[in-house]
Each structure stands twice: as structure tokens, then as C-alpha cells.
Amino acid sequence: MRDLENIQGSRIYGRRQGKPLTPSRQKLVDELLPRLVVDAADSDTAVEINDLFAADIEDLWFEVGFGKGEHLAWQAAHHPNTGFIGCEPFLNGIAGLLGHVEAQSLENVRIFTDDARLLMDRLPDASIGRFFVLFPDPWPKARHHKRRFINPGNLDVIARLLKDGAELRVGTDHMDYCRWTLMQLMRRDDFEWIAAGPDDWRQRPAGWPPSRYEAKALTQGRKSAYLRFRRKAR
Ligand SMILES: C[S@@+](CC[C@H](N)C(=O)[O-])C[C@H]1O[C@@H](n2cnc3c(N)ncnc32)[C@H](O)[C@@H]1O
């Protein structure tokens, strides 16, 4: 276990709330969110994954910083027997995901409304089949690189959480973050990059729907990288 005090002492640097919620979104936050939320109150207790979901799930997939939730909702709709945990502290984003959950009657989504790292430390070893970090904040200034989510400490935890052969997906429109991610992963012996040629990371793979940030980058003329890494067998 990492030092939770250290994590709690560190900050989430993004916004927690933007524009006021519409009444219908506020209703979802008041009424639907409490049914889906992964409790953060007792941060020392290990999470029992099977207790989170009403039905038996075949696998658990995890998304950090789901934004408005369009990617997570797509995955949940296409993989109804997989349980999903999405982490996002931004309330307007949480409300966005709740809108998708309600509209598509998704039963397999749970939400952690805080720093993903607090929950990651409470999950069992080799419990996750796929881990998404899509368009993480790039923190372009060198003095802010330590805030980047892809970093050695978080990768140690992700490696612990992933099942053998499971996939870590990192999407970014920021080419320095792309290089950074490759450097962080390639120096490790517990992950391998799944790419035989440039098309394997320059083209969005099947089963990887666009997210809001990716679409925004495209309208601003930036292409994205789609990096996939396999957790090697222990
Ligand atoms: C640039 S946005 C990308 C959103 C979305 N993934 C997309 O592609 O549209 C990054 C998101 O990550 C969230 N975030 C940043 N650090 C986080 C953390 N430690 N745990 C959970 N979410 C985090 C932010 O609140 C923000 O919504």
C-alpha cells in the first residue's frame, strides 16, 4: 500500500465544478449518483468488487478521469457483463455520465467521485482487465511534469491491479505526453507496447470510441495517439 496520507495531501489540480447543473442533471446527482457511488468514506478498507455490482460480472474495467463519460458509457453498453468503475472528481462530468447511464439504462457502471488513486490503493491485486487513461491533463511545463498521471508510482499500482495479459490504454493529443508515456512504459519490464507498426497507435483501434477531448483536439487540428500496453505475465 502506498502512503495514503501522501496522496490525500496531494491535490487534484482540475476543477471540481463548472457551470451550475441544470435541474435534470442535479436530480440525477441527488437521486441516481448515491446508488452508483463507490464509497470513499473509509479509505482504509479494501473494496469487495463483487459487492459493488448487483449482478455477477465477468471482468472489471477501470477509467480514470472519464470527463463527461461518453467513452465509459459506450464501453459499458458494449460490454454488459463487465463491471465498470469510472473515477472523476469534476461534478459536471459526473452528471454527464449519469445522463448516459440513465438514457441507456446501464446497470454495470459505478462511480468514484474523487482522486482515482485513493480507490486504486483499495482494490485487490490482479483484479482489473482493462485500465483507461484517456486524454489525461498534459501538464506541459517541465515543473508540472510530476503531476502527470502516467508516472512511475501510478504505473506500479496499475501493474499491481492489472490481471496478467490485461490492457492499459492511454490516449493523448499531446505529443510530448505521448513520448513521455512511451518512455515511462518502455523502461519497465512488466508492460509491453502492443504496436507492430505506426497504424497501431496513430489510428483509433476498433473498440476505442472517441472521447470529448479527442474530438475537441481534432477540431483544433491535432491528431491523437492511441497507446495500448499489455501487462506481462507475473
Ligand atoms: C483532459 S480531461 C479528459 C477527459 C476525458 N477522458 C476525455 O477524453 O474527454 C482529464 C480529466 O481527468 C480528471 N482527473 C485528473 N486527475 C484525476 C485523478 N487523479 N483521478 C480522477 N480523475 C482525474 C479531470 O477532472 C478531467 O476531467
- As for ligand 1, residues whose beta carbon falls within 6 Å of it are 12, 14, 64-67, 87-90, 93, 115-117, 134-137, 149, 211-214
**Which of 3, 42, 125, 137 is an active site residue?**
137
pTM of the model: 0.95
C-alpha cell read off for 158: 496499475
Would you write out the chain's pLDDT as a tens digit for each of its 234 residues?
Answer: 444 444 444 566 777 888 899 999 999 999 999 999 998 666 678 899 989 998 899 999 999 999 999 999 999 999 999 999 999 999 999 999 999 999 999 999 999 999 999 999 999 999 999 999 999 999 999 999 999 999 999 999 999 999 999 999 999 999 999 999 999 999 999 999 999 999 999 999 999 999 999 999 999 999 999 999 999 999
Dihedral angle computed from the Cα positions of residues 193, 198, 204 and 205, in that order, rounded to the nearest 10 degrees: -60
Ligand 1 atom showing the smallest separation from residue 132 Cα:
6
Atom of ligand 1 nearest to the CA of 137: 1
Judge whether 137 counts as a catalytic residue. yes
Structural domains of the chain, with CATH: 4-231 (3.40.50.150)
Q: 3-class secondary structure for 7-51?
A: HHHCCCCCCCCCCCCCHHHHHHHHHHHHHHECCCCCCCCCCCHHH
